Amino acid sequence: MVEIRELQSFCDVARLRSMSKAAEHLGLAQPRVTTHIKRLEEELGVVLFDRIRRPIRITSAGGTLYRLAKPLVDGVGALVAEMTEVGEGGVITVASTPVLSHPLLRVISAFRAAHPQVQILVRSRTLSEVTDLVASGDADLGLVPGPERLPALEFDEVFVYDRVLLVSLEHPLLALPYISFADIAKWPLLLMGLSNRTRGLLEAEFQRRNLSYQVIAELDSMDTIKRHVALGAGISVGPRVAVDAGDEQQLGIVSLEHLFPQEHAGIVTLRGRYQPVRVQGFISALREGLRGMVTR
């Protein structure tokens, strides 16, 4: 008799195209997943995967089983999720790029106050890591700049934002009527790491114009960067979403919308994945909260 655990392993292997990745996602040892697949093939009398090529590929028979089994597996997952939510409130895992986690945390604070029984786990990762977490099911949703075009993910645009120059209050750049890339390149820069989207755009423009520039520090958060800029250690370029109310009392903040295109940000979810009520509620709160923020 076919067991639901075997079907769960099968569906994850089919989706991830890897026995090891499916085992990791399910929290099982890889031999256990391999055994589940072999049992299914023996019980059904068909070959479900072509194991010769890498990554493994699903066969025609496997494709038919996936189409029939996935709604059943999803339904069992939904049942477990709903019962967990009724009993304990449940956990929501949210992945976000570091800069967008800044406005995300403001929404989470309000949501936790209204729903104290729900736990929210935030994972701050690079863009590719966020999409991987959502695609693998290890995160319920992600907050990313986009739009993302991965076929497995759905992107819901929530807001747009521009980028700003951050300098100390007495900085000479504040006296200029128009700020160019050449003006910015003349000053010591405090930036996020190499994977940061804004930094990538900025350095690409410097290089395209053959401008010399100096990054004197790579810091791990915009809050840290803002503190150093306020002290006169250097200047920075960042997204307006990282600017908090009251920052203008410590920093000179100048829009750079004439230099950079507007950025679109939104929520990514796994296409076709059942979302428990708690996750649906949080996504609604996230849309409302982020759209209500002044981002430019």
Question: pLDDT tens across 23-59, in order?
Answer: 888 888 999 999 999 999 998 999 999 888 778 899 9
Q: 141 in a domain, yes or no?
A: yes
Q: Which of 20, 52, 85 is a domain's end point?
A: 85
Question: pLDDT tens across 195-234, in order?
Answer: 888 999 999 999 999 999 999 999 988 999 999 999 999 9
Shared domain check, 185 and 115: no
Please give the average per-residue pLDDT across 104-131, as a whole number: 88
Q: What is the pLDDT of residue 140?
A: 94
Whether 88 shows a pLDDT value over 50: the answer reads no
> Which CATH number is 80's domain given?
1.10.10.10
Token digits of residue 19: 């026995």
Q: 63 in a domain, yes or no?
A: yes
Q: 296 in a domain, yes or no?
A: no
Shared domain check, 68 and 49: yes
Q: Return the DSSP state at 235.
A: B
Domain count for the chain, please give it.
Answer: 3
Q: Which of 50, 85, 120 is a domain's end point?
A: 85
Shared domain check, 285 and 231: no
CB 156 within 8 A of CB 265: no
Shared domain check, 47 and 77: yes
Shared domain check, 79 and 20: yes
Please give the average per-residue pLDDT across 251-258, as a whole number: 95
Q: 146 in a domain, yes or no?
A: yes
Shared domain check, 168 and 243: yes
Domain that holds residue 221: 163-255
Q: 45 in a domain, yes or no?
A: yes
Q: 214 in a domain, yes or no?
A: yes
Q: What is the pLDDT of residue 87?
A: 45
Q: 269 in a domain, yes or no?
A: yes
Q: What is the pLDDT of residue 178?
A: 93
Shared domain check, 134 and 118: yes
Question: pLDDT tens across 136-170, in order?
Answer: 889 999 999 876 667 889 999 888 889 999 999 99
- Strand 236-239 relative to strand 163-167, pairing: antiparallel
Shared domain check, 107 and 245: no
Shared domain check, 198 and 223: yes
Backbone angles phi, psi at 185, to 5 degrees: -65, -20
Q: What is the pLDDT of residue 290?
A: 83
Shared domain check, 97 and 21: no
Q: How far apart are the C-alpha atoms of 50 and 24, rounded to whole Å? A: 21
Peptide bond into 71 cis (omega under 30): no
> Nearest-CA neighbor of 211 among 172, 236, 184?
184
Shared domain check, 251 and 167: yes
> Which CATH number is 138's domain given?
3.40.190.10
CA dihedral 14, 18, 19, 20 (to 10 degrees): -140
Q: Which of 25, 50, 85 is a domain's end point?
A: 85
Shared domain check, 141 and 167: no
Q: What is the pLDDT of residue 276?
A: 83
pLDDT level of residue 187 (50, 70, 90 thresholds): very high
Q: 227 in a domain, yes or no?
A: yes
Question: pLDDT tens across 233-244, in order?
Answer: 999 999 998 888
pLDDT level of residue 257 (50, 70, 90 thresholds): very high
